[in-house]
Structure 1
Amino acid sequence: MATIKDVARRAQVSTSTVSHVLNKTRFVSPEITLRVEQAIDELHYAPSALARSLKSNETRTLGMLVTSSANPFFAEVVQGVEQRCFELGYSLALCNTRGDKARLNASMEMLLQKRVDGIILMCTQVDLGANVFDRYPSVPLVLADWGPMDMEADLIQDGGRLGGRLATEHLLGLGHRHIGCITGPRGKRAADERRAGFEAAMARAGLTVRPEWVIEGDFELAGGNSAMTALLALPERPTAVFVGNDMMAMGALRALADAGVSVPEQMSLVGYDNIELTHYLVPALTSVEQPKAGMGALAVDTLLARIKTPDCPRRVLTLTPELIVRDSCQALT
């Protein structure tokens, strides 16, 4: 493997001149610059990222802790993070926590050992308790929507209350008055905010939320399936349901199909997140759009701003959701 000394010898210059050409730290004549660049190409020389990081005290690598990158919602956010890192010349070290605190702590330790410049946290663990973050309070950190609210870190959050209200008002506008809700796990900010939006829209319409029509899910396919099965087993069922995320909505669609209940003719359904799959479902799912790639890019930009200005006040940035109307709802006749 070629070294900087080999490049200098081939270009007939000093190693410091090669360094100036690589890092653009001093003017070097076009003729010498060309010789150095030709030598680099001929020798296939690649500067040592480790050496650069030791000299500059930065690795140009960001870490990201995510509950599960296999979940389509998280995957689309991760794509936004990766794209923004690529555009800015950064690498991304991605770790899946699987909802396990011990795995989160171990991943955090690993990222710190690799000397990442900062970390994006997108995990469902709200109460982390004593954890590795307490031992490294100076690590630049950004919470991307799913994370504890009491941490001293910048926060990028979904406007869940507005999104839940938009979904419910859409159903109300179609004439539905018997509306149920499949929520995410209680105590998780995303789930609680979306449920609060649902309840606010119902209250504004002068309607009472029926407790038996509000079923707690787990943000996963199976949770949505079992929650809808429970709703269908009731003596009286709602004519429309707002589901707290698209994964549960897909599970709910399966339960409705298994029960022979047609959507939207016999029940209207609205999801949340607007993951790519919603467009390909039958029927295509009406859903509340979160700008997922935008959230990922904003997380990177916010983290880099925190790295550059570590003493600035905590930032809380709220994204604006939008309702995407498709085929899973219809006016009540």
Structure 2
Amino acid sequence: MNIKDVAALAGVSPATVSRCLNNTGPLSSETRTRIEKVIDLTGYDVNKASKQVDWNHNPTIGVMIPSLLNPVFSEIVAGIQQRARHFGYSVIVVDTQYELSRERQAIIDLIRQRVVGVILTTASVENNEALSLLREFRFPFCLVHNQSPDEPCVYVDNYQAGWDVADQLLALGHQKTGMVAGRFQSSDRAKQRYLGFTDRLKQETLLPPMQLVEVDQYALTPFDQTQGSFFDSLLAPTAWFCSNDLLALKLVNHLKAQGIAIPEMVSVVGFDGMALGQILYPPLATIQVPHHTMGLYAVDLLFNSKHKTTLPLTKQLDYQPHFVGTMAECQPPTMRRVLYK
């Protein structure tokens, strides 16, 4: 960080920052408070800064994602890197492991790295400290996967996708359904998929209640005994919608280990379109999302915001239902009893 960076974040001139640091001129209390907040946030030290050589010649974009373990975010980052290189930028990536407490600190760390802007996926756009920080300092950013009505973002319609999954399962004769979801407090995307899914089911008045199983979406370990009990019974749902492909693959693996044939006995549908899901047998039924393209657009939208152009700041991408493989017609009760034997 240097004095110009502090001035840019505070929305003042470098000379004003200098007057604040040296107490050499009049400043309003509001301006002084704002400058001091930036200095505290960034850890700027005028004495250390004067003795350091600035090596950051290559402009950098900061990227904050929930997980480096999820291939979905790897695809997004690959798209961001490709587009960033086109403009001569490098990329710094930090992950938050789906923990709200890490998001604000991740943004502070990226600002301290003197990035020109941030591309990020947050737990939620509502009451989010990381986003509040970016908004307060008018720092350029673009959301990925999160949807915001008046801020730069690239996304798919998660609500409608959830609706489409429920509609297809109903068309295949499934009446008893369930959903395995990442915890909603960690993912507003999962919540939107859930709302779309359940709203479609509510249109059918005679259906039994939909069963919801919330789990940690980043845990790659098998389901524990309590969680597994939701899936193993003959009375369990005949179809499960999972809020992402990793959970869907985890569920398929669990059901197969219990001797439950997929999709003959139980249908499983994921969300994301991970390549891994398509090389297994049977291939995973899912909602395919163009994650690499999402990363490309995110860079463009970030620059549109940074340079205050009149170009669009939001982009809704199309998803593609892939309802084959682990999704099939619901078998009648008599056939299901035979299959379970």
TM-score class, shorter: 0.7 to 0.9
Asked whether the 8 Å contact 1:228–1:252 carries over to 2, the reply is no
AA matched with 1:75: S
Structure 1 position 198 matched with structure 2 position 201: no
> Equivalents in 2 of 1:89, 1:137: separation in Å?
25
> Equivalents in 1 of 2:56, 2:71: separation in Å?
36
- The match for 2:158 is 160
- The match for 1:22 is none
Structure 1 position 324 matched with structure 2 position 306: no
> Equivalents in 2 of 1:263, 1:231: separation in Å?
16
Q: How does 1:94-243 map to 2 (within 5 A)?
A: 94-101=93-100, 103-124=102-123, 127-129=127-129, 133=133, 137-146=137-146, 153-187=151-185, 188-208=187-207, 210-211=209-210, 213-220=211-218, 222=220, 225-226=223-224, 229-233=228-232, 236-243=235-242
Q: How does 1:228-307 map to 2 (within 5 A)?
A: 229-233=228-232, 236-307=235-306
SS at match of 1:176: coil
Check 1:288–1:207 CA distance in 2 against 1; reply closer, same or farther (3 A cut).
Answer: farther
Shift of 1:224: 7.9
SS at match of 2:104: helix
- The match for 2:64 is 65
Asked whether the 8 Å contact 1:69–1:78 carries over to 2, the reply is no
Mark the runs of 5 or more structure 2 residues left unpaired by the alignment: 1-53, 332-341
Shift of 1:309: 0.5
Asked whether the 8 Å contact 1:160–1:321 carries over to 2, the reply is no
SS at match of 1:299: helix
Mark the runs of 5 or more structure 1 residues left unpaired by the alignment: 1-49, 54-58
Larger Rg: 1 or 2?
Answer: 1
Q: How does 1:54-93 map to 2 (within 5 A)?
A: 60-93=59-92
Shift of 1:303: 0.1
Per-residue CA deviations over 1:122-166 (Å, capped at 9, x if unaligned) read: 13366544888168522101111148x59x742222211111122
Check 1:135–1:296 CA distance in 2 against 1; reply closer, same or farther (3 A cut).
Answer: closer
Q: How does 1:44-63 map to 2 (within 5 A)?
A: 60-63=59-62
Q: How many aligned residue pairs are there?
A: 275
> Equivalents in 2 of 1:313, 1:91: separation in Å?
23
- The match for 2:48 is none
SS at match of 1:225: coil
SS at match of 1:232: coil
> Equivalents in 2 of 1:94, 1:248: separation in Å?
24
TM-score, normalised relative to structure 1: 0.73
Shift of 1:253: 1.1
> Equivalents in 2 of 1:134, 1:73: separation in Å?
25
> Equivalents in 1 of 2:246, 2:280: separation in Å?
12
AA matched with 1:160: N
> Equivalents in 2 of 1:221, 1:170: separation in Å?
29
> Equivalents in 1 of 2:69, 2:220: separation in Å?
15
- The match for 1:31 is none
Shift of 1:209: 5.2
Asked whether the 8 Å contact 2:142–2:151 carries over to 1, the reply is yes
SS at match of 2:270: strand
AA matched with 2:62: G
> Equivalents in 2 of 1:280, 1:183: separation in Å?
23
AA matched with 1:284: P
AA matched with 2:172: L
Check 1:130–1:175 CA distance in 2 against 1; reply closer, same or farther (3 A cut).
Answer: closer
Asked whether the 8 Å contact 2:67–2:218 carries over to 1, the reply is no
SS at match of 1:266: coil
TM-score, normalised relative to structure 2: 0.71
Per-residue CA deviations over 1:231-276 (Å, capped at 9, x if unaligned) read: 2255611111111110111111121022111101110111100111
Percent sequence identity over aligned pairs:
25
> Equivalents in 2 of 1:77, 1:109: separation in Å?
22
> Equivalents in 1 of 2:77, 2:120: separation in Å?
11
Asked whether the 8 Å contact 2:178–2:241 carries over to 1, the reply is yes
SS at match of 2:63: strand
